[in-house]
């Protein structure tokens, strides 16, 4: 029998790339085993280097909302590439793309394009500090906003303590400018503002968390953040890098009717290419250079090829009924998995919104990072590998949301649920 090509490339990768990967979660450290090296993808499927096909629920961590290698997006990229890859000068496509974003998200009175979600959040926080003249930023445990020094922090011994670095290389003095609170703890936020409100430049939050698995905001949580930021003159930043054009045509802010001061976007808006953006109120955004004193720049910002892909992706998600169909498929998957687990006698539940879903090996849907941590992670690992062996590729971590695309048809969803029912039965027998 020939050696698995994934293992061959894994050995080669670890010899030249730290940990063998260019982004940590790809390394399968949370679940064990050898990562799959993806050779190609189409629709709801990916194929690895051994030409094994998988139904993909990672979707490039969210961007592949129309399915992989959608013909219209690929054609747009090819057409743009023929004209040149990068100019370092303005292009018409940048303007058209910004106009399209603004037409879909009215809160974006002005918008600037960047190349990654990390860039977008870093720039939004800098802008908030520059405009307010304050230094403190509030974030929430379990919410990830890119690998920005000041946001790579975790809570200390209590909910109201200042942040401590969660990565080597982040100075403690930088981390201490961040206050880390519990997601969905409105009372905790009230207390922090009562004590530090005059020093808080911004609150940054995933309006629907996706980086500690899928966690929805409890009733009144986002509204409370809006009210406090308005009262104290702080900037409310919605990190919609994941949820923007993934949970609805107006993102989470459209679903919940809460308007942030600044919004960060990524993933879906690039159609699979490196493209992100941040934008919001005109008076804030016009404090950016060259108009204002807050500096931000990027050689590849507004890449003509990436913007072409983004325009095509936004056209696809804007088609009538797109999100209704997507949400129904996601619901059927989430509910199907939950019913399969019930029949198998496994403590498991699920949740979903738009084209995002969460699976939890716990009896109830978590509401915070601490509740997610309390789920049965070991059982998730067994589920992950059993499904992978059957040709179904879920996120290789119990702390990541999953994604459904428009290309995941009814048959694919049914096949997934049937396979999961077998796996749940195996897990139940292991526990006996």
Angle, vertex CA 144, rays to CA 143 and CA 147, nearest 5: 155
DSSP assignment string, 57-74? SSGGGTT-TT-BT-HHHH
In percent, how much of the chain has pLDDT > 90? 91
21 CB-near residues (< 8 Å, 6+ apart): 13, 27, 35
Q: What mean pLDDT comes out for the span 12-16?
A: 98
Rounded Cα gap, residues 24 and 28, in angstroms: 8
Q: Is there a contact between 34 and 10 (Cβ–Cβ < 8 Å)?
A: yes
Residue 87: phi and psi, rounded to 5, are -125, -25
**Which pLDDT score is estimated for 1?**
55
**Which pLDDT score is estimated for 167?**
78
Question: Which amino acids are annotated catalytic?
Answer: 144, 239, 267
Q: Residue 294 forms beta bridges with which residues?
A: 288
**Which pLDDT score is estimated for 172?**
82
**Which pLDDT score is estimated for 432?**
62
pLDDT above 90 (res 164)? no
- Ranges for all domains in the chain classified under CATH 3.90.1150.10: 5-69+321-431
In tens, the pLDDT along 174-196 reads 888 999 999 999 999 999 999 99
Q: Could you tell me how many helices (H) and strands (E) the chain has, helices first?
A: 14, 16
**Which pLDDT score is estimated for 182?**
95
- Ranges for all domains in the chain classified under CATH 3.40.640.10: 71-317
Q: What mean pLDDT comes out for the span 387-408?
A: 97
In tens, the pLDDT along 354-386 reads 999 999 999 999 999 999 999 999 999 999 999
Look at domain 5-69+321-431 and name its CATH class. alpha beta
Q: Name the band, by pLDDT with cuts 50, 70 and 90, for residue 161.
A: very low
- In this predicted model, which residue has the larger pLDDT, 172 or 46? 46
Q: Residue 162 forms beta bridges with which residues?
A: 179
Q: What is the pTM (predicted TM-score) of this model?
A: 0.96
Q: Is there a contact between 202 and 350 (Cβ–Cβ < 8 Å)?
A: no
**Which pLDDT score is estimated for 118?**
96
pLDDT above 60 (res 419)? yes
Q: Name the band, by pLDDT with cuts 50, 70 and 90, for residue 165.
A: low
Spell 240-274 as b/e; 16+ CB within 10 A means b: bbbbbbbbbbbbbbbbbebbbbbbbbbbbbbbbbb
Tokens of 264: 């960060």
Cβ-defined contacts of 421-427 (< 8 Å, 24+): 421/340, 421/343, 421/344, 422/390, 423/383, 423/386, 423/387, 423/390, 424/340, 424/341, 424/343, 424/344, 424/345, 424/346, 424/348, 424/383, 425/344, 426/386, 427/344, 427/346, 427/379, 427/382, 427/383, 427/386
Q: Are strands 136-140 and 200-205 parallel, antiparallel or unpaired?
A: parallel
Q: Name the band, by pLDDT with cuts 50, 70 and 90, for residue 160.
A: very low
**Which pLDDT score is estimated for 292?**
97
**Which pLDDT score is estimated for 157?**
28
Q: What mean pLDDT comes out for the span 137-152?
A: 91
In tens, the pLDDT along 52-101 reads 999 999 999 999 999 999 999 999 999 999 999 999 999 999 999 999 99
Mean per-residue pLDDT over the chain, rounded: 95
Tokens of 379: 């059982």
DSSP assignment string, 236-303? EEEEETTTTTTSSTTHHHHHHT---SEEEE-GGGGTTSS-EEEEE-HHHHTTBTTTSSB----TTTT-
In tens, the pLDDT along 211-222 reads 999 999 999 999
pLDDT above 60 (res 406)? yes
Q: Is there a contact between 262 and 284 (Cβ–Cβ < 8 Å)?
A: yes
Domain 71-317 has CATH 3.40.190.10: no
In tens, the pLDDT along 253-296 reads 999 999 999 999 999 999 999 999 999 999 999 999 999 999 99
């Amino acid at each position: 029998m020939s050696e698995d090509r994934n293992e061959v490339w894994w050995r080669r990768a670890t010899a030249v790339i730290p940990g063998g990967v260019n982004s940590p979660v790809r390394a399968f450290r949370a679940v064990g085993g050898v990562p799959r090296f993806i050779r190609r993808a189409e629709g709801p499927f990916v194929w690895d280097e051994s030409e094994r096909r998988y139904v993909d629920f990672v979707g490039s961590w969210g961007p592949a909302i129309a399915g992989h290698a959608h013909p219209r997006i690929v054609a747009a990229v090819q057409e743009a590439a023929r004209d040149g890859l990068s100019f370092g000068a303005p292009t018409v496509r940048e303007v058209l793309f910004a106009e399209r974003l603004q037409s879909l998200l009215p809160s974006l009175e002005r918008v600037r394009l960047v190349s990654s979600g990390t860039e977008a959040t870093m720039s939004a926080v800098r802008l908030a500090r520059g405009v307010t003249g304050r230094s403190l930023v509030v974030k929430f445990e379990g919410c990830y906003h890119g690998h920005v020094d000041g946001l790579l922090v975790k809570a200390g011994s209590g909910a109201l303590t200042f942040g401590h670095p969660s990565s080597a290389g982040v100075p403690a003095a930088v981390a201490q400018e961040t206050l880390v609170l519990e997601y969905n703890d409105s009372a905790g936020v009230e207390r922090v503002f009562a004590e530090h409100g005059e020093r808080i430049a911004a609150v940054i939050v995933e309006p629907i968390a996706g980086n500690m698995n899928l966690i929805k905001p409890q009733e009144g949580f986002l509204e409370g953040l809006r009210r406090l930021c308005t009262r104290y003159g702080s900037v409310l930043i919605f990190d919609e890098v994941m949820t923007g054009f993934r949970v609805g045509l107006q993102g989470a802010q459209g679903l919940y009717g809460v308007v942030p001061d600044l919004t960060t976007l990524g993933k879906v808006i690039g159609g699979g290419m490196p493209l992100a953006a941040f934008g919001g109120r005109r008076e804030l955004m016009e404090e950016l250079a060259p108009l204002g004193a807050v500096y931000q720049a990027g050689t590849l910002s507004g890449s003509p090829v990436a913007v072409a892909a983004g325009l095509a992706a936004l056209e696809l998600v804007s088609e009538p009924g797109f999100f209704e169909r997507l949400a129904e498929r996601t619901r059927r998957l989430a509910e199907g998995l939950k019913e399969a687990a019930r029949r198998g006698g496994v403590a498991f539940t699920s949740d979903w919104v738009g084209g995002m879903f969460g699976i939890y090996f716990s009896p109830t849907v978590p509401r915070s990072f601490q509740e997610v941590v309390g789920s049965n992670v070991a059982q998730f690992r067994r589920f992950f590998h059993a499904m992978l062996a059957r040709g179904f590729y879920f996120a290789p971590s119990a702390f990541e949301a999953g994604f459904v695309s428009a290309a995941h048809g009814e048959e694919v969803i049914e096949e997934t649920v049937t396979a999961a029912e077998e796996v749940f039965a195996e897990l139940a027998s292991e526990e006996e």
